[in-house]
């Protein structure tokens, strides 16, 4: 079975109903030496292929441009709207500690209970067997309910969730822009609301040396959107006026806006890595650099990847092709 990732524009019969047995994904990376298995795995190849396919798909495009919105995309947005509504229905509780509001656990318990049902609304009846496997990635994508934290490993789980939907043929090649601009962007909005509402801790944060406390992918895809922009250069994203005027068109600037809302003090101090990136001469160089950094700082870090789960759609087995 070839996923669409390797066949952009392939005929749709490639995504025929799968004659395969699904399974509940599980942890496979238990000690640092297991990281070699991950890097050789089909899961890593497919995950990275998916990220790079979308990176090309949104290149030079604004969030506000025209693109096809299929029925599964609409259903995914509805699913995310449900998660958003549950936040409103689960206000933070009064507690002595400022961070990690325990109401998040109540919110999470609801998702834990409903995830399979939610996923079943997105996938067609003949693929119903896939719901329990795919739902695991959705549950992993919103943060940890014990620690009440959120980080790039959770974000990766959401990308894996979308990747699985592509592998079973629910999402198609021509959904690429909508996957990033409509679904992933809505996911970001909901995650920002969770982070703010429940004062979530950053998971595995490198503090001031990380790119961002919570996200990474919108910086990659967001920098791709800006490649060959006629007048916005990387040096402009530290300019408040430029950010305020353009953030609705570009994911990267939306991320910068959120950081400046959440943090006080000079940008160069609270977001040193991003400040350094603003000195890179072109957006394509920024984009390439961020992809390298993502591999090194997220995908090749044991504390992040030890939580990743592997099943039939994202297998730990070595790459076959």
pLDDT beyond 80 at 218:
yes
* Element containing residue 240 per DSSP (H, E): helix 240-246
- Given a contact cutoff of 8 angstroms between Cβ atoms, the answer to whether 190 and 80 are in contact is yes
Q: pLDDT category, 208, cuts 50, 70, 90? A: low
Residue 223 pLDDT > 50: yes
* Alpha carbons 160 and 134: distance in angstroms, whole number: 9
72-127 tens-digit pLDDT: 999 999 999 999 999 999 999 999 999 999 999 999 999 999 999 999 999 999 99
- Calculate ∠ Cα 82-65-237, nearest 5°: 90
Mean pLDDT of 127-143: 97
Each residue's pLDDT tens digit, 169-185: 999 989 999 999 999 99
Residue 71 belongs to what H/E stretch? helix 71-89
| More confidently predicted of 144 and 209 | 144
238-278 tens-digit pLDDT: 999 999 999 999 999 999 999 999 999 999 999 999 999 99
What is the spatial distance between Cα 144 and Cα 142, in angstroms, rounded to a whole number? 7
Residue 46 CA to chain centroid, in angstroms?
15
Surface-to-core class of residue 312, CB atoms within 10 Å of its CB (0-12 exposed, 13-18 middle, 19+ buried):
middle
pLDDT exceeds 80 at position 149: yes
- Report which secondary-structure segment, H or E, holds 309: strand 309-310
* Whether the model pTM is above 0.85: yes
Q: Inter-axis angle of helices 103-120 and 131-140, to 10 degrees?
A: 150
Q: What is the rounded CA–CA span in Å between residue 44 and residue 164?
A: 13
Whether residue 34 contacts residue 316, with contact meaning beta carbons closer than 8 Å, is answered with: no
Q: Are 238 and 267 in contact (CB under 8 A)?
A: yes
pLDDT of residue 6: 47
| Strand partners of residue 149 | 144, 201
User: Residues near 130 by Cβ (< 8 Å), separated by ≥ 6?
Assistant: 18, 22, 123, 164, 168, 313
- Residue showing tokens 């292929």: 49
| Tokens at 275, concatenated | 């400040």
Is the pLDDT at 202 greater than 60? The verdict is yes
User: Is pLDDT at 10 greater than 50 in this prediction?
Assistant: no
Per the prediction, the chain carries an average pLDDT of 93
Kind of pairing between the strands at 26-27 and 309-310:
antiparallel
Return the number of other C-beta atoms located less than 10 Å from residue 220's C-beta.
Answer: 25
Q: Is the pLDDT of residue 3 over 70?
A: no
Q: Is 52 within 8 Å of 299 (Cβ atoms)?
A: no
Token pair of 267 as six digits: 């940008």
User: Given this model, what pLDDT does residue 205 score?
Assistant: 61
Burial class (CB in 10 A: 0-12, 13-18, 19+), 110: middle
Residue 12 has pLDDT above 50, yes or no: no
Confidence of residue 210 (pLDDT cuts 50, 70, 90): confident
For residue 177, the model assigns a pLDDT of 97
Rounded to whole angstroms, the Cα distance separating 121 from 218 reads 26
The dihedrals phi and psi of 309, each to the nearest 5 degrees, come to: -115, 145
Q: Given pLDDT bands bounded at 50, 70 and 90, which one contains residue 9?
A: very low
């Amino acid at each position: 079975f070839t996923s669409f990732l390797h066949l952009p524009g392939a005929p749709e019969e490639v995504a025929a109903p799968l004659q395969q047995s699904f399974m509940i994904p599980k942890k496979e990376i238990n000690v640092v030496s297991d990281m070699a298995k991950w890097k050789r795995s089909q899961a890593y190849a497919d995950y990275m292929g998916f990220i790079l396919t979308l990176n090309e798909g949104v290149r030079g495009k604004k969030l506000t441009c025209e693109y096809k919105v299929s029925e599964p995309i609409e259903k995914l947005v509805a699913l995310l709207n449900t998660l958003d509504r549950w936040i409103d229905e689960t206000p933070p509780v009064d507690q002595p500690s400022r961070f990690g509001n325990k109401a998040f656990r109540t919110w999470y318990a609801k998702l834990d209970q409903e995830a399979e049902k939610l996923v079943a609304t997105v996938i067609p009846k003949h693929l119903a067997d896939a719901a329990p496997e795919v739902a695991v990635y959705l549950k992993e994508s919103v943060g940890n309910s014990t620690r009440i934290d959120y980080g790039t490993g959770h974000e990766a789980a959401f990308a894996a969730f979308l990747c699985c939907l592509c592998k079973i043929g629910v999402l198609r090649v021509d959904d690429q822009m909508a996957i990033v601009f409509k679904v992933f962007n809505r996911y970001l909005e909901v995650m920002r609301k969770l982070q703010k509402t429940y004062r979530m801790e950053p998971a595995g944060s490198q503090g001031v040396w990380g790119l961002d406390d919570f996200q990474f992918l919108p910086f990659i895809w967001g920098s791709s959107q800006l490649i060959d922009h006629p007048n916005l250069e990387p040096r402009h994203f530290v300019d408040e006026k430029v950010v305020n005027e353009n953030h609705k068109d570009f994911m990267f600037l939306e991320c910068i806006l959120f950081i400046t809302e959440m943090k006080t003090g000079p940008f160069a101090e609270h977001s040193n890595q991003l400040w350094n990136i603003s000195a890179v001469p072109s957006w394509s160089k920024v984009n390439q650099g961020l992809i390298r950094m993502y591999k090194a700082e997220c995908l090749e870090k044991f504390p992040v990847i030890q939580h990743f789960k592997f099943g039939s759609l994202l297998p730990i087995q070595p790459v076959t092709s």
